[in-house]
Amino acid sequence: MQTFPDVISLASGYGNFAPPAAAVAQAAALLQAGPLPTSPIAGMPELRAALAARYQQQGAATGPEQVLVTPGAKPALFALFKAALEPGDEVLLLTPNWFGFRGLVEKAGGTLRTLPLDPATDYAWQPEQLSSAIHARTRILLLSNPNNPTGRVYTRAEWEGLLRITRQWPGLLVVSDEIYDGIHFGPEPFTSLLSLPDPHRQHVVVSGYSKSLGLIGWSVGYLVAPEELIRRAAAWQFSTSAAVAALSQAAAQAATEQASAISQQLCSGLLTNREIMRQWLAALPPQPPFPLGTYYAFPDFRRFLRPDLPLTEASAELAARLRAGGAEVVDGGSCDAPGFFRLSYAVPEPLLREALRRIRAALTAD
C-alpha cells in the first residue's frame, strides 16, 4: 500500500520535470572543456542571438541587442522596473495575476494599481475598461500570457484589440510575462507580444526557463525590450549583481535552440494529469472553462467559503482548512481573486489523485 506525506502540495510553481538532456549535455561539455568563460553582463552573445532568432521565427523584429540575460525571470522584472519607473509612475496590473508582482513594483519605487478581470467572461480583456483605466501616470501595463494563476491564453485577435488602446499612449510600456509560453494545449499557436506590430517601441517580454523548458534551479531568465531600455536594465544589473553563470547560459542556449521539442515533450507528459484534474473539476460545477495554458487549474470554490467571514478572510480560512486536510494550494486571495484557488497538476500522478481526494473530502465535510 502506497504511503503519502501528511501534506501534499499542489501549490508549487515548479513542475516535476527533469532537465532537458540537450541542456545537460551542453553544460557538461562546457564544464569538461577547461576553465569556464566569463560572460558580459548582458549575457553570452550566442544565447542572446539564439533568443532573438527564436522570436524572429515567430514574426518579431528582434535583435540580440534587445535581449538581456538575467539570473531568473524575477530579476529581469526588477531590472525592468528599475530602468523604466520614475517616482510617481504607476504600473497597471491586470488581475488575477502572480502575487509577486506587487512587491517587485513597490521595491522598485513604483505604485501598483490593479484592473480586475471578470471570471464570468473567462478573464477577457475589455478594451473599454482598459481605456478608462490608463492615464498620464501609467507607465507600464503589466500582464501575463499564459496567465498565472488562471491558465488563460490570450489570442492574437485579443492582443490586437488591446494594442489598439495602448497605441494611443506612446509613452506606455506593455509588459507581457510569457514564462509559460510553451505550456499550452489549445488549437492555435501561442502568440507572443513580440510578434505584433510595435510602431512606438512599447512592447516588452519577460521570460525564463524554469516553467516551459524544464531548467528548474538553473537561474536563467531574460528581458526583451527596446535597446535603450535594455542598456539601462543592464547597467542596473551590472551595479547590483553579476552575469549569469556560463554553465547555466550554455544549458539555456541548448534549450532555446530546441524549445519547441522540449515544450512539446513537457506538454505530452502532462496530458494524463491534466485530464485527471479536468474530470475532477467537472464533478464540482459550476467552474470556469478549463484553462488552455500553464499546468494549473484555478477553480471557483466560493460556494465552500464560510458566509460569516469577509471574502478575503473566508478564502484564507478555506486554504487553511484544505491544508489541515492534507492538501496545500494557493489561495487566490494572494492573486486578487479570493474564493478561487490555484492547483498545480505538475506533480506525480499518485500524489495528484490523493491530493484531489483530500480536497474533495475537506470541501464536502459537514
What CATH number has the domain bearing residue 303?
3.90.1150.10
Q: According to the model, what pLDDT value does residue 25 have?
A: 97
202 and 318, same domain (yes or no): no
**Dihedral of CA 182/183/187/191: which sign?**
negative
Query: Residues near 299 by Cβ (< 8 Å), separated by ≥ 6?
Result: 281, 284, 287, 288, 340, 341, 343
Number of domains in the chain: 2
122 and 248, same domain (yes or no): yes
200 and 102, same domain (yes or no): yes
Q: According to the model, what pLDDT value does residue 285 have?
A: 81
Given 257, 273, 308, which residue is the final one in a domain? Answer: 257
Residue 286 has pLDDT above 90, yes or no: no
Give the range of the structural domain holding residue 239, as residue numbers without chain letter: 22-257
Q: For residue 268, which amino acid is it?
A: S
In a domain, 51, yes or no: yes
Question: Please, what is the angle between helix 21-32 and helix 246-257, to 10°?
Answer: 140
33 and 131, same domain (yes or no): yes
178 and 303, same domain (yes or no): no
pLDDT in tens, 18-48: 999 999 999 999 999 989 999 999 999 999 9
Mean pLDDT taken over the chain: 97
In a domain, 320, yes or no: yes
Are the C-beta atoms of 59 and 195 separated by less than 8 Å?
A: yes
Given 218, 239, 257, which residue is the final one in a domain? Answer: 257
Identify which of 247, 220, 252 has the alpha carbon closest to the alpha carbon of residue 76. Answer: 220
73 and 176, same domain (yes or no): yes
Q: What is the DSSP letter of 173?
A: E
305 and 245, same domain (yes or no): no
User: Which residue do the cell numbers 467537472 mark?
Assistant: 282
Q: Round to whole Å and give the CA distance between 131 and 261.
A: 39
71 and 182, same domain (yes or no): yes
Given 224, 257, 290, which residue is the final one in a domain? Answer: 257
pLDDT in tens, 76-96: 999 999 999 999 999 999 999
Question: Which residues are paired to 95 by β-bridges?
Answer: 116
97 and 131, same domain (yes or no): yes
Q: According to the model, what pLDDT value does residue 2 have?
A: 85
In a domain, 54, yes or no: yes
Q: How confident is the model at residue 257 (pLDDT cuts 50, 70, 90)?
A: very high
- Phi/psi at 207 (5° precision): -155, -175
CA angle 195, 147, 77 (to 5 degrees): 75
Residue 366 has pLDDT above 80, yes or no: no
Question: Which residues are paired to 142 by β-bridges?
Answer: 93, 175
Q: How confident is the model at residue 327 (pLDDT cuts 50, 70, 90)?
A: very high
249 and 265, same domain (yes or no): no
340 and 249, same domain (yes or no): no
240 and 320, same domain (yes or no): no
Joined grid coordinates for residue 317: 480560512
The CATH code of the domain that includes 100 is 3.40.640.10
